[in-house]
Amino acid sequence: LSLKFSPVQINRLEKLGIKKTDPSTLTEEEITRFVRLDIDPESITWQRVLDTNDRFLRKITIGQSPTEKGFTRTAQFDITVASEIMAVLALTTSLADMKERLAKMVVATSRSGQPVTTEDLGVCGALTVLMRDAIKPNLMQTLEGNPVFVHAGPFANIAHGNSSILADKIALKLVGPQGFVVTEAGFGADIGMEKFFNIKCRHSGLKPHAVVLVATVRALKMHGGGPTVTAGTPLPKEYIEENLALLEAGCSNMRKQVENAQLFGVPVVVAVNAFKTDTKAELGLICKLAKEAGAFDAVHCSHWADGGAGAADLARAVQKAADLPSSFKFLYDIELPIVDKIRIIAQKIYGADDIELLPEAQHKVDLYSKQGFASLPICMAKTHLSLSHDAEKKGVPTGFVLPIRDIRASVGAGFLYPLVGTMPTIPGLPTRPCFYDIDLDTESEEVHGLF
């Protein structure tokens, strides 16, 4: 029986500079280099993921079984949508590109300081097989029969928060040169939009013709200092009664987001989702202030109630905006040092005075620069509830320093992601979870308390 190398083993040999294909011809020194990754256990960055909000999994100890022979270490879970594999799926451009990205994922560092990848582990081929069907966008339809691609789901407050490049490119082919493709970026414009431009557009090569910022009376009132909103409880009266002063104060946040969008050289349209408790005066005030802030147009729409007809005016405004000259540009030069790119985002998008690198973050800056990852774009993991790192600071906070506690590398996906403040990578349930209100009528089998 003659032994032979598998394709992934051949790849590893080539990476090591060993030009041999017959296992029997390897020297002892070559065998040692080939089979020993010499991983530093404290450097392992690969995390398990779970689709459940379980705060106890944010920091755990694994390897306590006697079969693990004392190899215990501290680890953690992330939420599934924060997995690098999810980000790879969203940013890939082909099956071959996905395989290459999966192979580049760094899972640890060797004791000599070299990155250890999934290709080094020999698992990239198996990963690609698992993702073979997932790479195909899901074609669905709206209630009115319009086609829509639903594909990938990286969280915007941890990962880059955008649907897949493949879905966008296929959609562009389907609509033709005169058609329009609408693609969504998650959470606030300071997170989803910024990452769409600086990360997704870099990888896809696509340039947007217009950007739509979505606003609501309720959200802007909250940013104006309105009372806390608790899920599952009635809205405070400030949100369902006319209050122009509160609304105008909160429009400072919208103004900042319009200014942020303009930094990228793309025409801006503000879409105001109008609900039944909103007054004409409130909707008119938002549209007026949006235009004063520099938006090309601002339109209130009621598609939640009236379907496509309720967004017809918005569609016409977007069509006109897309015909305007566009000078799309990135926020920062990709070749800038890691710290400089983080600082630009913090100061220009969030309004921070400066950034503060905590010791672990500074260590990662030094490590990733040494390993050759400094030229990757930045994906800030930050709360979506504020422009700052503090979810309680509404409106447009000023006079703050943005703390960076750690930086992780998603080399396969193609970005570095700093962890801002206390931002967790797996959510936890609140003190009073909503499951207290959920019950089943055993006679009628009717579910209560879900909505």
Per-residue H/E/C for the chain: CCCCCCHHHHHHHHHCCCCCCCHHHCCHHHHHHHHCCCECHHHCCCCEEECCCCHHHHCEEECCCHHHCCCCEEECEEEHHHCHHHHHHHHCCCHHHHHHHHHHCEEEEECCCCEEEHHHHCCHHHHHHHCCCCCCCEEEECCCCCEEEECCCCCCCCCCCECCHHHHHHHHHHHCCCCCCCCCECCCHHHHHHHHHHHHHHHHCCCCCCEEEEEEHHHHHHHCCCCCCCCCCCCCHHHCCCCHHHHHHHHHHHHHHHHHHHCCCCCEEEEEECCCCCCHHHHHHHHHHHHHCCCCEEEEECHHHHHHHHHHHHHHHHHHHHCCCCCCCCCCCCCCCHHHHHHHHHHHHHCCCEEEECHHHHHHHHHHHHHCCCCCCECCECCCCCCCCCCCCCCCCCCCEEEEEEEEEECCCCEEEEEECCCCCCCCCCCCCHHHHCEECCCCCCEECCC
Please tell me the predicted confidence (pLDDT) of residue 1: 53
Total domains, the chain: 1
Per-residue pLDDT of the chain (451 residues; tens, 9 = 90+): 578 888 888 888 888 889 888 888 899 999 888 888 899 999 999 999 999 889 999 999 999 999 998 889 999 999 999 899 999 999 999 999 999 999 999 999 999 999 999 999 999 999 999 999 999 999 999 999 999 999 998 888 888 999 999 999 999 999 999 999 999 998 899 999 999 999 999 999 999 999 999 999 999 999 999 999 887 788 999 999 999 999 999 999 999 999 999 999 999 999 999 999 999 999 999 999 999 999 999 999 999 899 999 999 999 999 999 999 889 999 999 999 999 999 999 999 999 999 999 999 999 999 999 999 999 999 999 999 999 999 999 999 999 999 999 999 999 999 999 999 999 998 888 888 888 889 999 999 999 988 7
Please tell me the predicted confidence (pLDDT) of residue 9: 86
Identify whether 372 is part of a domain.
no
Identify whether 433 is part of a domain.
no
Identify whether 3 is part of a domain.
no
**Domain, as residue range, for 304:** 209-323
Please tell me the predicted confidence (pLDDT) of residue 80: 92
Identify whether 218 is part of a domain.
yes
The CATH number of residue 250's host domain is: 3.40.50.300
Identify whether 318 is part of a domain.
yes
Query: Is the pTM above the cut of 0.85?
Result: yes
Identify whether 183 is part of a domain.
no
Identify whether 214 is part of a domain.
yes
Identify whether 39 is part of a domain.
no
